[in-house]
């Protein structure tokens, strides 16, 4: 099986469930968005969270995908930057315990925190303080980090440093890896529209986007978007939430529908886990339909728990479910 390495903001998720949207309004966090916040706002949010019941888990978009791949037994790698603090140690040790090759750099700021607000409909809103993650610099990336991997998975949130993304993609290509990009968030796409167009056209082989991100990128609906994006890369995956997903590779285009989940608890990591399942199928040489099936299995499971950590028995159940496809 081909190996995958990811790069992203090394974050620890601090999750809290809200009874209504009033705190989001108070913090000026648009529901369903990912907003980068400065230190003062981070401290303000942290003060409010200290008075509430919270849950902590490793996070970051690419981090979630790599975690899921590790639980499927793929021995992936991860590149990121942490602070020399309790949260950084938590992030590093969690990855090592799951069998991830943690290629972590050290910064002099606090480890990044993604304050994650979950509303009663399962929607999640992020107030993200990047901290040390924002210090990851292009010159710190080395070719050796990418060698031995066939796929490089990159989160669009890293677009805050365009030179970093460009350097990473160049090194991955030099190491012989295909580049996979998750578009991250509709507002991220809107704010960096021209860069994403150029970057995908030049470097990206596989694009993952949800319906809103695809619309922000092309101004069109899912099916029209998939045709536009596919002209720039090899495979396009547009995630449609409860309606499943649509995928295009060359002339092959399919829509994969999924059975409804009875109770959605927290949608954090749903798209990240879908990408992990899809890539697992792809590196196993499976058809697009089977890749979608595995992605949907993972996504449907993670939205039934808080955070992105599934118990070992659940992973055993997942692996048994997909073993018949291999």
Residue ranges per domain, the chain?
4-323
- 8 Å CB contact between 27 and 127: yes
Across the range 251-261, mean pLDDT stands at 83
- 8 Å CB contact between 128 and 115: yes
pLDDT of residue 255: 86
Give the tens place of pLDDT for each residue, 197-215: 999 999 999 999 998 999 9
Give the tens place of pLDDT for each residue, 85-123: 999 999 999 999 999 999 999 999 999 999 989 888 878
Range with lowest mean pLDDT among 20-24, 94-98, 119-123, 190-194: 119-123
For 51, other C-beta atoms within 10 Å of its C-beta total 7
CATH class entry, domain 4-323: alpha beta
Angle ∠(24,29,31) on CA atoms, nearest 5: 75
Average predicted confidence (pLDDT) for the chain: 92
User: What are the residues whose beta carbons fall under 8 Å from the beta carbon of 205, sequence distance 6 or more?
Assistant: 178, 179, 180, 233, 234, 235
Give the tens place of pLDDT for each residue, 48-61: 988 999 988 888 99
Phi then psi for residue 168, to 5 deg, are -65, -45
pLDDT band at 34 (very low <50, low <70, confident <90, very high): confident
- 8 Å CB contact between 87 and 131: no
pLDDT of residue 88: 96
pLDDT of residue 244: 83
- Residue 192 pLDDT > 90: yes
7 bridge partner residues: 79, 154
Measure the CA–CA gap between 127 and 224, rounded to whole angstroms.
Answer: 31
Angle ∠(296,90,100) on CA atoms, nearest 5: 50
Measure the CA–CA gap between 130 and 111, rounded to whole angstroms.
Answer: 7
pLDDT of residue 3: 95
Measure the CA–CA gap between 95 and 64, rounded to whole angstroms.
Answer: 10
- Residue 309 pLDDT > 90: no
b/e burial code for range 223-236 (CB count within 10 A of at least 16 → b): eebbeebbebbebb
The enclosing H or E element of 241 equals none
pLDDT of residue 180: 98
Model confidence, pTM: 0.89
Give the tens place of pLDDT for each residue, 146-176: 999 999 999 999 998 999 999 999 999 999 9
pLDDT band at 269 (very low <50, low <70, confident <90, very high): confident
- Residue 292 pLDDT > 90: yes
Among residues of the chain, what percentage have pLDDT more than 90? 71
pLDDT of residue 260: 76
With CA atoms as reference, report the closest residue to 303 among 276, 275, 247, 263: 263
């Amino acid at each position: 099986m081909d190996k995958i390495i990811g790069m992203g903001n090394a974050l620890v998720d601090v999750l809290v469930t809200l009874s209504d949207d009033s705190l989001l309004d108070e913090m000026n966090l648009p529901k369903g968005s990912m907003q980068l916040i400065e230190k003062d706002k981070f401290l303000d949010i942290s003060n409010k969270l200290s008075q509430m019941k919270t849950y902590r888990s490793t996070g970051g978009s690419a981090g979630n995908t790599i975690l899921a791949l590790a639980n499927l037994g793929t021995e992936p790698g991860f590149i990121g930057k942490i602070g020399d603090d309790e949260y950084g140690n938590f992030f590093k040790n969690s990855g090592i315990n799951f069998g991830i090759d943690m290629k972590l750099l050290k910064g002099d700021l606090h480890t990044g925190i993604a304050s994650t607000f979950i509303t009663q409909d399962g929607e999640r809103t992020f107030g993200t303080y990047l901290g040390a993650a924002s210090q990851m610099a292009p010159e710190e990336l080395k070719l050796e980090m990418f060698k031995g991997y066939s796929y490089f998975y990159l989160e669009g949130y890293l677009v805050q440093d365009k030179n970093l993304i460009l350097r990473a993609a160049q090194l991955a290509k030099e190491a012989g890896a295909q580049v996979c990009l998750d578009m991250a968030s509709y507002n991220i796409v809107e704010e960096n529209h021209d860069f994403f167009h150029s970057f995908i056209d030049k470097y990206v082989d596989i694009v993952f986007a949800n319906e809103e991100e695809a619309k922000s990128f092309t101004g069109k609906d899912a099916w029209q978007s998939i045709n536009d994006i596919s002209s720039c890369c090899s495979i396009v995956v547009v995630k449609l939430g409860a309606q499943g997903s649509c995928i295009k590779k060359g002339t092959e285009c399919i829509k994969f529908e999924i059975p409804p989940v009875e109770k959605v608890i927290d949608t954090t990591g749903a798209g990240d886990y879908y990408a992990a399942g899809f890539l697992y199928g792809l590196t196993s040489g499976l058809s697009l339909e089977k890749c979608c099936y595995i992605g949907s299995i993972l996504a449907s499971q993670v939205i039934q728990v808080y955070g992105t950590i599934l118990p070992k028995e659940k992973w055993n159940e997942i692996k048994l479910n997909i073993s018949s496809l291999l």
